[in-house]
Structure 1
Amino acid sequence: MGNFKETLGVSELKAKNNNIWKALLAEFIGNVLLNLFGCGAVVNYKGDVAGTVLISLTFGLTIFVVVQSLGHVSGAHINPAVTCGMLATGNIKIIKGILYIIVQCLGALAGSGILKALIPEELQESGIGVTMVSSTLKLTPIQGLGVEFFLGFILVLTVCGVCDPNRPEAKAAAGLAIGLAVAVGHLVGVQLTGSSMNPARSFGAGVIANVWTDHWIYWVGPILGGISAALLYKHAFAAPSLGPLKIIERYTTVVTDEKELRRLDAKMDENMP
């Protein structure tokens, strides 16, 4: 029974130093901002290249800002696909993961609701960011599922790579790398499936617009892609554990080498005529 509670994460919620409510609030706010600003860029989208770039950069930069601002609070999943990937690899407990997904969906719903309230009705004809498989390009639902699978895959693979505890040097660039992964996914996927990458983002826009065409794709695709990427990274690509002493040694060696190079440069300058 104790092991079962540990797996669920009951003790984690009962801990005195538990900051679960701060983490849930961070996930909520992150998704509010994502749907407000990201879906805001979709408004009045005409299907042109400039619009695709605008949408891609807006979603990518929004994620970059959110990860940099809130990553220390909740890990800045801001996406059920990321949370499911972390659940599959044991990086987050079950109860906490479920709570994350709930507040992510509520945050996305609130963000899309705010967006609808702030823009004129004539600009809402595009559905304020609703994701749908392209009928113009004649994609089938299975093709749309495949697109969303790989969009979730590249995102979670990036998250795993930059958040690997044995790669501390990658942590500084985490927000930028994750934001770029989101931007890349949108550059490719906007005209194919609307490039959800994020079930909560599609849920929020879908509820506000009351459009549910092929909505299952935007849950199954990114989540399966995210779980696959997380498991692949954990079992095939994870950096080897160096231990704290090895990490210190690595950076001490780098600093020592830099000092030696500066000393040699100064000596060469002195010997030059």
Structure 2
Amino acid sequence: MVKIAFGSIGDSLSVGSLKAYLAEFIATLLFVFAGVGSAIAYNKLTSDAALDPAGLVAIAVAHAFALFVGVSMAANISGGHLNPAVTLGLAVGGNITILTGLFYWVAQLLGSTVACLLLKYVTNGLAVPTHGVAAGMNGAEGVVMEIVITFALVYTVYATAADPKKGSLGTIAPMAIGFIVGANILAAGPFSGGSMNPARSFGPAVVAGDFSQNWIYWVGPLIGGGLAGFIYGDVFIGSHTPLPTSEDYA
């Protein structure tokens, strides 16, 4: 049974919660700075050439490393979500309230936007690449691709970090989360861009002023994250008591 809880404003504005929002802001900022920065660096080094296999691998590795570090640095404070789809998936499984999750979203979106503004400044105005589907694909196909890869991400988060039966996994959880993101970028990058993260797509869209396909990277990841939260959090974990707190995510 779905364990979604709305929560209270008092809990969502507690000192601990405020620290969690700050941790999400900082970790998301650093993750997006490295991830989007790797794409900008690739474009600069190749004179804006089309993405080739070497560039795809480099960008996937940069995102995997940056997410591994970002999740690790925020895990003990906020749970290390860095992604509205992860937050939604964990809310569906009862690991975070809807109200607190909305504040997480704000922190994550702000972190991504600030990261892209900083990149625009420090690169002397170089273009910030936005996510979009490949030529020959339509929006629906992009949404399905993002559903599948985001499902894989949030399912991995549950299996390695949020499952109360996981035992002590140490650094394996953030490492596995980084690996699945890198692998998914390798698989989906040439097609949908391999976002899996509305915040990761939102910041570049704001700075570039291009929201033409941004909806794909909200609809797909949120559906995928919600499905993973329901299947793992509500079917596999079920009625386990007590529910894990944010400190138990990693």
Alpha-carbon distance between aligned partners in 1 of 2:181 and 2:232, rounded to the nearest angstrom: 18
| Amino acid across the alignment from 1:153 | F
When the two structures are superposed, what TM-score results if normalisation uses the length of structure 2?
Answer: 0.86
State which structure, 1 or 2, has the greater radius of gyration over its C-alpha atoms: 1
Residue 72 of structure 1 aligns to a residue in which SS?
coil
CA-CA distance at 1:242 after TM superposition = 10
Alpha-carbon distance between aligned partners in 2 of 1:215 and 1:98, rounded to the nearest angstrom: 19
Instruction: Tell whether 2:204 aligns with 1:200.
Output: no
When the two structures are superposed, what TM-score results if normalisation uses the length of structure 1?
Answer: 0.79
| Amino acid across the alignment from 1:233 | Y
Alpha-carbon distance between aligned partners in 1 of 2:209 and 2:72, rounded to the nearest angstrom: 33
Residue 19 of structure 1 aligns to a residue in which SS?
helix
- Does the aligned pair in 1 maintain the 2:131–2:213 contact within 8 Å? no
The equivalent residue for 1:9 is 8
Instruction: Tell whether 2:129 aligns with 1:132.
Output: no
The alignment's C-alpha RMSD in Å is: 2.0
Relative to 1, partners in 2 of residues 1:53 and 1:14: Cα closer, same or farther, differing over 3 Å? Answer: closer
Residue 8 of structure 1 aligns to a residue in which SS?
coil
CA-CA distance at 1:208 after TM superposition = 0.2
CA-CA distance at 1:11 after TM superposition = 4.3
Residue 168 of structure 2 aligns to a residue in which SS?
helix
Percent of pairs identical after alignment? 35
Alpha-carbon distance between aligned partners in 2 of 1:133 and 1:7, rounded to the nearest angstrom: 34
The equivalent residue for 1:67 is 71
Alpha-carbon distance between aligned partners in 2 of 1:52 and 1:236, rounded to the nearest angstrom: 36
Relative to 1, partners in 2 of residues 1:26 and 1:14: Cα closer, same or farther, differing over 3 Å? Answer: closer
5+ residue gaps, structure 2: 243-250
The equivalent residue for 1:258 is none
Q: Show the 5 A alignment for 1:31-50.
A: 31-43=28-40, 44=43, 46-50=50-54
The equivalent residue for 1:20 is 17
**How many correspondences in the alignment?**
230
CA-CA distance at 1:29 after TM superposition = 0.7
- Does the aligned pair in 2 maintain the 1:166–1:242 contact within 8 Å? no
CA-CA distance at 1:48 after TM superposition = 0.3
Alpha-carbon distance between aligned partners in 2 of 1:232 and 1:202, rounded to the nearest angstrom: 25
The equivalent residue for 1:103 is 107
Which protein, 1 or 2, shows the higher relative CO under an 8 Å CA cutoff with sep ≥ 6? 2
Deviates more, 1:31-40 or 1:168-177: 168-177
Residue 75 of structure 2 aligns to a residue in which SS?
helix
CA-CA distance at 1:169 after TM superposition = 3.3
Relative to 1, partners in 2 of residues 1:242 and 1:214: Cα closer, same or farther, differing over 3 Å? Answer: closer
- Does the aligned pair in 2 maintain the 1:162–1:171 contact within 8 Å? no
Residue 75 of structure 1 aligns to a residue in which SS?
coil
Alpha-carbon distance between aligned partners in 1 of 2:107 and 2:13, rounded to the nearest angstrom: 19
The equivalent residue for 1:267 is none
- Does the aligned pair in 2 maintain the 1:167–1:239 contact within 8 Å? no
Alpha-carbon distance between aligned partners in 2 of 1:74 and 1:224, rounded to the nearest angstrom: 22
Alpha-carbon distance between aligned partners in 2 of 1:187 and 1:197, rounded to the nearest angstrom: 13
Deviates more, 1:143-152 or 1:40-49: 40-49
Alpha-carbon displacement from aligned partner over 1:14-51 (angstroms, at most 9, x marks no partner): 66xx4111101110011111221100111106310000
Alpha-carbon distance between aligned partners in 2 of 1:37 and 1:81, rounded to the nearest angstrom: 20
Relative to 1, partners in 2 of residues 1:129 and 1:167: Cα closer, same or farther, differing over 3 Å? Answer: same
- Does the aligned pair in 1 maintain the 2:91–2:229 contact within 8 Å? no
- Does the aligned pair in 2 maintain the 1:9–1:94 contact within 8 Å? no
- Does the aligned pair in 1 maintain the 2:89–2:225 contact within 8 Å? yes
Deviates more, 1:170-179 or 1:69-78: 170-179
